[in-house]
């Protein structure tokens, strides 16, 4: 096996591996640092929390795009906006999370110091202000990337077109992104260790030794993962003008691949280092996993399970519908793609907050902004994805129709316009939620404070969110099935029968998942003024829990229904997993080289 092939396989498997462990690890960090009371008031763990959030966003933005690039669909070569936005976001998020790691190390030096004045500098209010300042600074640092990043008219790659700024980039990688964080964390890590060794009693009194351990192992993680990346970039800058033969270039590209993949473990490895080093962190994670052992605990297990299945399923959908050529030009699969993207965003917003609420930390009770924003986003995204499912079903009815005029209505350009229109409509529909959603001064819960709009909400749940989508999809699903039964030859000529199957099983999924939710809301509206005893209320609350969890399977089940119903979809997924079995395939190996160049 050549170094090129080895680099290709390493990049593919390591990127998938880091994506999975990064989402899980940073998700665990966010939950633990948000829900454990002793962690919420400590500056060091606040820095860990902000670093985990930025790492989580970084992984969601960077790694799926790397994987998609590996399958020959590089949006940075075709979209100037994504070319600019991706590099700006990746750079800014990397700098924020590295700065948070540096601040956590400095904080532990202050906490373990013999000086009372230095120990007083470790303050949660100052930590909030410092994080706000560094976010503003690094966001401003990203502005030149937006200005000077563009698609080169010669190479057709996303690169820096400004010569002066392009000379700054190697210095940025060596000094700002690698050298400075490693130097700061190493120096203050050693000083912290010295403080503990010299003043054991004082350190035990003033500092949480578990947090000190967590900080020091993160220093080790940064040194191991980031130092080789900085050294390789320094070598690349020094030898940029040297003449190199093909063998040397191949060896250097392989080294670039290895150090780039090694650096990616920094953004996914902190949780596992914390688990190794800290007994209290392990205990906190264990308490969250074995939730039933804790009394008076709201059960978040279902939300976590559905969330994992949803991220995986919708991620597969997005990759397949973006990369398979035959899927990119079909209106039905375009609706599936938009639905999968909105489902993915819905899951990222809704399910982590559900899980955190399950552990007693409900931000909607304390933050008016989150109270308004969460409900608006969840409502808007739900309506967009359900509308896309309805449009996919209508499209298959048109495609399988005997009428030529109806079949012509199935058009990819019209699909783009229709999706844009429905997004605008449902975004406008969400404006009253922002206006009328608030924290009640009486119950201290996030609710609708406008009486008139509050009377609309049950109708919205029953008619718009449940009844209408189920009715439309059932009706056009039956009409599509009738078209196939009546005109088999025409259907075989004009319609992709695999696509028809995928659409019909999605209709079944919607009917099973959404109908009980609508019925339960209708029952609640009908019996809203009835007198109910404690037993009946307990039973009704249990039914609400069951139908709500059942409805959540709609946003996670489409991929698995597609796998069951469509052999072509299964084949496409199999091809993406076992990529090396296919000839003439562009592999994710280029992602590492492109990443270093960018």
Q: Phi-psi region for residue 243, left (φ > 0), alpha (ψ -120 to 50) or beta?
A: beta
Question: Rounded to the nearest 5°, which phi and psi values hold at 160?
Answer: -90, 120
CB 430 within 8 Å of CB 373: no
Question: Do the strands 158-160 and 149-151 form a parallel or antiparallel pair, or are they unpaired?
Answer: antiparallel
Which of 576, 598, 572, 597 shows the shortest CA–CA distance to 588?
576
- CA distance readout (Å), 547 to 182, 455, 490, 515, 532: 51, 22, 40, 9, 20
Going by C-beta distance under 8 Å and a sequence separation of 6 or more, which residues neighbour residue 49? 29, 30, 33, 34, 39
Q: Which residues pair with 260 in a beta bridge?
A: none
pLDDT in tens, 21-48: 888 888 888 888 887 777 778 899 899 9
Average pLDDT, the chain: 81
**pLDDT at site 597:** 39
Q: Locate 365 and state its tokens.
A: 């009770």
Rounded Cα distance between 159 and 161, Å, is: 6
DSSP state of 112: T
Going by C-beta distance under 8 Å and a sequence separation of 6 or more, which residues neighbour residue 469? 386, 387, 389, 390, 510, 514
Burial class (CB in 10 A: 0-12, 13-18, 19+), 24: middle
563, 566, 571, 574 alpha-carbon torsion, rounded to 10°:
0
What domains, with CATH codes, occur in the chain?
Answer: 3-289 (1.20.1070.10), 301-579 (1.20.1070.10)
DSSP state of 329: T
**pLDDT at site 21:** 87
**pLDDT at site 582:** 52
Q: How far is CA 37 from the centre of its chain?
A: 26
Would you report the helix, strand and coil content of the chain in percent, each value rounded to 5?
80, 0, 15
CB 466 within 8 Å of CB 518: yes
Establish how many alpha carbons lie within 13 A of residue 556's alpha carbon, considering only the half-sphere containing its beta carbon. 20
Burial class (CB in 10 A: 0-12, 13-18, 19+), 45: buried
Which of 82, 93, 101, 100 shows the shortest CA–CA distance to 60?
93
Whole-model pTM? 0.56
CB 563 within 8 Å of CB 498: no
pLDDT in tens, 102-124: 999 999 889 888 888 888 888 88
Q: What Rg do the C-alpha atoms of the chain give, in angstroms?
A: 27
Kindly give the residue spans of alpha helices, DSSP state H, lying in 430-566.
431-436, 451-459, 468-486, 488-494, 497-526, 534-552, 554-565
228, 230, 233, 239 alpha-carbon torsion, rounded to 10°:
-80
Q: How far is CA 152 from the centre of its chain?
A: 29
pLDDT in tens, 472-509: 989 988 888 888 777 655 444 444 677 778 888 888 88
What averages of pLDDT result for each successive group of 10 residues across the chain (598 residues)? 70 80 87 79 89 91 79 78 89 93 91 85 90 93 90 84 86 88 92 79 52 86 87 83 81 84 84 84 76 46 57 77 76 88 84 71 80 89 91 88 85 90 92 88 83 85 87 89 69 58 83 84 80 83 81 76 79 72 46 40
């Amino acid at each position: 096996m050549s170094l090129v092939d080895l680099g290709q396989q390493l990049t593919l498997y390591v990127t998938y591996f880091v994506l999975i462990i990064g989402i899980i690890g940073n998700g665990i960090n966010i939950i633990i640092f948000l829900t454990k009371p002793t962690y919420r008031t400590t500056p060091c763990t606040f820095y860990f929390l902000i670093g985990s959030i930025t790492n989580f966003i970084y992984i969601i933005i960077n790694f799926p795009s790397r994987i998609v690039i590996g399958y020959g669909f590089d949006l940075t070569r075709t979209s100037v906006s994504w070319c600019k936005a991706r590099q700006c976001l990746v750079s800014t998020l990397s700098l924020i999370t590295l700065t948070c790691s540096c601040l956590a190390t400095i904080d532990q030096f202050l906490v373990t110091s013999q000086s009372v004045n230095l120990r007083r500098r470790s303050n949660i209010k100052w930590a909030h202000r410092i994080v706000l300042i560094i976010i503003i600074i690094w966001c401003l640092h990203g502005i030149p990337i937006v200005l000077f990043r563009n698609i080169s008219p010669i190479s057709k790659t996303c690169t820096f077109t400004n010569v002066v700024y392009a000379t700054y980039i190697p210095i940025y990688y060596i000094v700002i992104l690698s050298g400075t964080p490693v130097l700061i964390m190493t120096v203050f890590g050693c000083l912290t260790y010295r403080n503990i060794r010299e003043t054991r009693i004082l350190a035990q009194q003033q500092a949480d030794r578990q947090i000190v351990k967590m900080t020091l192992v993160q220093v080790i993680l940064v040194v191991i993962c980031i130092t080789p990346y900085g050294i390789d970039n320094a070598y690349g800058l020094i030898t940029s003008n040297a003449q190199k033969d093909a063998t040397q270039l191949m060896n250097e590209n392989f080294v670039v691949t290895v150090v780039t993949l090694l650096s990616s473990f920094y953004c996914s490895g902190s949780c596992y280092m914390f688990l190794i080093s800290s007994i209290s962190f392990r205990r906190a994670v264990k308490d969250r996993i074995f939730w039933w052992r804790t009394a008076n605990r709201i059960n978040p297990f279902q939300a976590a399970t559905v969330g994992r299945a949803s991220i995986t399923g919708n991620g597969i959908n997005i990759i397949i519908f973006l990369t398979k050529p035959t899927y990119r030009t079909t209106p039905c699969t375009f609706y599936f793609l938009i639905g999968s993207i909105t489902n993915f965003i819905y899951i990222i917003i809704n399910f982590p907050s559900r899980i955190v609420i399950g552990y007693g930390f409900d931000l909607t009770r304390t933050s008016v902004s989150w109270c308004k924003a969460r409900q608006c986003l969840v409502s808007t995204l739900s309506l967009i994805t359900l509308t896309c499912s309805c449009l996919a079903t209508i499209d298959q009815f048109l495609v399988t129709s005997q009428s030529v005029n109806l079949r012509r209505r199935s058009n990819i350009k019209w699909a783009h316009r229709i999706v844009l229109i429905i997004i605008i409509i449902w975004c406008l529909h969400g404006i009253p939620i922002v206006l009328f959603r608030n924290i009640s001064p009486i119950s201290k819960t996030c609710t609708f404070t406008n009486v008139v709009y509050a009377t609309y909400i049950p109708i919205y749940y029953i008619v718009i969110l449940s009844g209408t989508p189920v009715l439309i999809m059932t009706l056009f699903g039956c009409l599509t099935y009738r078209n196939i039964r009546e005109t088999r030859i025409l259907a075989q000529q004009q319609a992709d029968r695999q696509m028809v199957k995928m659409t019909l099983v999605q209709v079944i999924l919607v009917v099973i998942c959404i109908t009980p939710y609508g019925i339960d809301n209708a029952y609640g509206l009908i019996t809203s003024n009835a007198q109910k005893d404690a037993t009946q209320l307990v039973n009704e609350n249990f039914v609400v829990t069951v139908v709500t969890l059942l409805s959540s399977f709609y946003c996670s089940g489409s991929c698995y229904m597609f796998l069951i119903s469509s052999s072509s979809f299964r084949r496409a997924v199999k091809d993406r997993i076992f990529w090396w079995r296919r000839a003439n395939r562009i592999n994710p190996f280029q992602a590492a080289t492109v990443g270093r160049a960018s």
